Amino acid sequence: MRNRLYAFLRDLRQDQRGLALTELVLVVPMLSVLTLGTVDYSMMVLARLTVQTAARTGAEYAVENGYDSTSIASAITGTSNRGGLVSTIAATPAPSQWYGCPNATTGVATAVASTTVCSTGKTAGTYVTASAQATYTFLLPWPYAPSSSVLNASSTVRIN
């Protein structure tokens, strides 16, 4: 009786049938979560690129047509939404026009008025800032994470 038990245990220890299935059952859930997380994060990156494209489209409109807040906002909101990855793209905050002088430290320093004379002796340049905003909703509710993310982008150009 004892020899049979030892023989059974020895055979059981050496038997590898079903081992691959057991490993698969342990690994597949982890790989699935990692894959879904990667897909979700990739879609959020694409949504962020969409919002950045919208802001850049508004800035390009300002370069070609001059400053018109309503038209720039329309260019921003009319940007293609790439398959509905984000909620409606909004021109938030509204496009703004401002004047600035070159500054070696900060790039451009804001001036008070369009007639301001810079330290270089030239009149301040006219700049336009176009901003876009949208909300991305994640595919799955992730633990300890919000269900959506607000994506913002802005683009500033000199128009003269």
72-112 pLDDT per residue, tens: 999 999 887 766 778 789 999 999 999 888 777 877 877 76
What is the tally of structural domains in the chain?
Answer: 1
Domain limits at 145? Answer: 2-158
Q: Which residues of the chain have pLDDT under 50?
A: none
pLDDT score at 49: 92
Q: CA 70, CA 99: separation in Å to the nearest integer? A: 19
The number of C-alpha atoms within 13 Å of 35 and in the hemisphere containing its C-beta is 6
Name the nearest CA neighbour of 130 among 78, 86, 82: 78
pTM above 0.75, yes or no: yes
